[in-house]
Amino acid sequence: MANFEYIALDARGEETTGSVTAGDEADAIAQLRKSGLYPTQVAPAGKGGVSSTAKRRAKKGQKGKSGSKNAAGGRVKGKVLMIFTRQLATLVDAGLPLLRGLSVLGNQEKNRVMAGTVTHLADSVAGGGTFSESLGQHPKIFDKLYVNMVKAGELGGVLELVLNRLAEYQEKAQKLKNRIIAAMVYPIIVLMIAMLILVFLMTVIVPKFEQIFADMLGDVPLPGITRFVIAISDGLTNNWLLILIVLVVAFVGWKVFAMTAAGRNSIDRWKLYIPLFGPIQLKSAISRFTRTLGTLVTSGVPILQALNITRETSGNMIVANAIDKVHEAVREGESVVAPLEASRIFPPMVISMVDVGEETGQLPDMLLKIADVYDDEVDMAVDAMTSMLEPIMIVLLALVVGTIVIALFMPMISIITEMNNQG
């Protein structure tokens, strides 16, 4: 048995501290809950964890009121919102009143923007507003999906269940996003390093060899491959400013093109069908669509409203257009299968599972199962892409660098041969 210090909330939502003797941390939490307390932190006595936290909260409580208003209104990372949702879901699920839960999280939150936002939420709820209305006042942090799910949970009296679903949704979405980003980072870093090496070779090394060839060989014609490499080097060295301007103009033009409806459509379609990366983009888009729609409908959001929200959060115009067709079909009382099939971006397996879900009346559950399947598909596609990219990039880099090396050493052979003949 050991002593554990704790910080807990009583039935009135007031914070209290103390110690309890228990076999382990889980036993201590169980004892506190039996006593009618809601523990927010439990730690072995003597390590200073609980007492230092209590002091930090006291200081934060004094400063928070003056600083939180200035902090609210910005944006936060998805990970910060995910952690907040999971913590709030845990507190509400444990029976803690929503207002008190928001107050606790506002005092604990380290992110300044999120702390100010949570404080505003608590003030709004304390003033008589609903939680969903309060969330709607911060659209930069809480999107329509978040607000509407909470609203459905409030109307159905299952807010704790909806918060848990939201937390699970965000955790899986964040995991998928991190997986895709990790897959993209490797080839981008390798490409950047390769480009730097090539620029260094072409602008520093090749010009020095060109001077050596001019001094040693005079008017002797150089091999074709050598002349080709030197021409590229001269072009880069003499026209670097023009090349930089062209690149900047091309980048700006790409951005302007991407801002137009036609441009966004073209780019998003290209993303879905580009070799290697396309399958990952498509599978992640299907996973996002099915998980978002399934989570919304399961939480009690009407299907038409859920489709509108899913369309706005799809992240791809091609998928959004397909969802728009589904919305029109559902509004006319038709099946969702036909417009999904007509879009030609959803695989037959997805169409079949949606069809079965519709016929059995279990469409939301089926959508979530499809999302789980495609999360695994994305993982496998990322692994396959990474394993293919490594040898491809190594071979391409070896070919380019090897070509430069051969181009530089072929004239050197002539120079060495001439020196031997003279000797």
Say whether pLDDT at 55 is over 60: no
At 139, list the tokens.
């659209």
* pLDDT tier, 70 (very low <50, low <70, confident <90, very high otherwise): very low
What was the pLDDT predicted at 60?
A: 44
Answer whether residue 10 is part of any domain. yes
How many CB atoms lie under 10 A from the CB of residue 90? 16
Answer whether residue 170 is part of any domain. no
**For the sheet containing 15-22, what is the strand order?**
15-22, 2-9, 38-44
Sign of CA pseudo-dihedral 203, 209, 212, 216: negative
Q: How far apart are CA 227 and CA 224, in angstroms?
A: 5
What was the pLDDT predicted at 61?
A: 45
Answer whether residue 84 is part of any domain. no
What was the pLDDT predicted at 15?
A: 67
Q: Are 76 and 113 in contact (CB under 8 A)?
A: yes
DSSP codes, 45-61: TTSSHHHHHHHHHHHHH
Q: Show contacts of 265-271: CB within 8 Å, 24+ apart.
A: 265/317, 265/318, 265/321, 268/316, 268/317, 268/318, 268/319, 269/317, 269/318, 271/316
Say whether pLDDT at 313 is over 70: yes
**What's the pLDDT tens digit per position in 277-309?**
888 888 888 888 888 888 888 888 888 888 888
Share of the chain above pLDDT 70, in %: 90
Q: Name the one residue in this structure whose structure tokens are 């002539």.
A: 414
Q: How far apart are CA 375 and CA 384, in angstroms?
A: 14
Q: 58-72, 260-274, 289-303, 335-349: which range is least confident on average?
A: 58-72
Q: Are 397 and 331 in contact (CB under 8 A)?
A: no
How far is CA 47 from each of CA 7, 17, 38, 88, 353, rounded to the nearest angstrom?
Answer: 14, 15, 21, 27, 54
Q: Are 37 and 18 in contact (CB under 8 A)?
A: no
- Give 9 or 363, the one with higher predicted confidence: 363
Which stretch of DSSP H or E encloses residue 2?
strand 2-9
Sign of CA pseudo-dihedral 320, 272, 81, 117: negative
CA angle 312, 171, 81 (to 5 degrees): 70
Say whether pLDDT at 72 is over 70: no
Answer whether residue 23 is part of any domain. yes
**What's the pLDDT tens digit per position in 207-239?**
888 888 888 777 777 888 888 888 988 888 888
**What's the pLDDT tens digit per position in 122-150?**
888 888 788 888 888 888 888 888 888 88
Q: How far apart are CA 160 and CA 176, in angstroms?
A: 24
Pairing mode of beta strands 38-44, 2-9: antiparallel
The single-letter code of the amino acid at 52 is S
What SS3 class is residue 18? strand
What was the pLDDT predicted at 71?
A: 47
Answer whether residue 53 is part of any domain. no
Q: Are residues 43 and 191 in the same domain?
A: no
Answer whether residue 150 is part of any domain. no
Q: How far apart are CA 344 and CA 188, in angstroms?
A: 30
Q: Are 369 and 391 in contact (CB under 8 A)?
A: no
* pLDDT tier, 111 (very low <50, low <70, confident <90, very high otherwise): confident
What was the pLDDT predicted at 64?
A: 44
Per-residue DSSP letter, 9: E
Q: Could you tell me the residue range of the domain that residue 39 belongs to?
A: 1-47
Answer whether residue 419 is part of any domain. yes
Could you give the number of structural domains in the chain?
2
How far is CA 6 from each of CA 10, 57, 346, 368, 414, rounded to the nearest angstrom?
Answer: 12, 14, 52, 38, 83
* pLDDT tier, 66 (very low <50, low <70, confident <90, very high otherwise): very low
Mean pLDDT value across the chain: 81
- Write the CATH number for 353: 1.20.81.30
What was the pLDDT predicted at 63?
A: 44
**What's the pLDDT tens digit per position in 326-337?**
888 888 888 888
At 342, list the tokens.
């007509």
Q: How far apart are CA 309 and CA 299, in angstroms?
A: 13
Say whether pLDDT at 34 is over 80: no
CA angle 214, 220, 226 (to 5 degrees): 70
Answer whether residue 88 is part of any domain. no
Q: How far apart are CA 178 and CA 352, in angstroms?
A: 29
**Minimal CA–CA distance to 296: which of 133, 142, 155, 149?**
149
What was the pLDDT predicted at 283?
A: 87
**Minimal CA–CA distance to 186: which of 386, 395, 377, 382?**
386
**Minimal CA–CA distance to 295: which of 117, 105, 144, 101?**
144
